Amino acid sequence: MLYRKGLVMQLPLLFSSLCMRQPVSRAMASSASGTVYDFSAKTIDGDMVSLSKYKGRVLVVTNVACL
């Protein structure tokens, strides 16, 4: 399964991000305010849903954008 085209292309990105000295800049981290529950996201059906609906549950946020 490691030889699937998508995974092979993404592995270098994954490993390079794990090796970064400072993955998030201090300026970026200090400018963030609020929580994930302050945001909304579009469902697969195209409807907007508030993430506060899922408060108290484990959220897995995945970026599925194509390269």
pLDDT, tens digit, 9 for 90 and up, residues 13-48: 555 555 555 555 665 555 667 888 998 988 889 999
Max CA pair span of the chain: 40
User: Given pLDDT bands bounded at 50, 70 and 90, which one contains residue 1?
Assistant: very low
pTM: 0.45
Nearest to 51 by CA among 62, 39, 33: 39
Distance between CA atoms of residues 2 and 11, nearest Å: 9
β-partners of residue 40 are 50
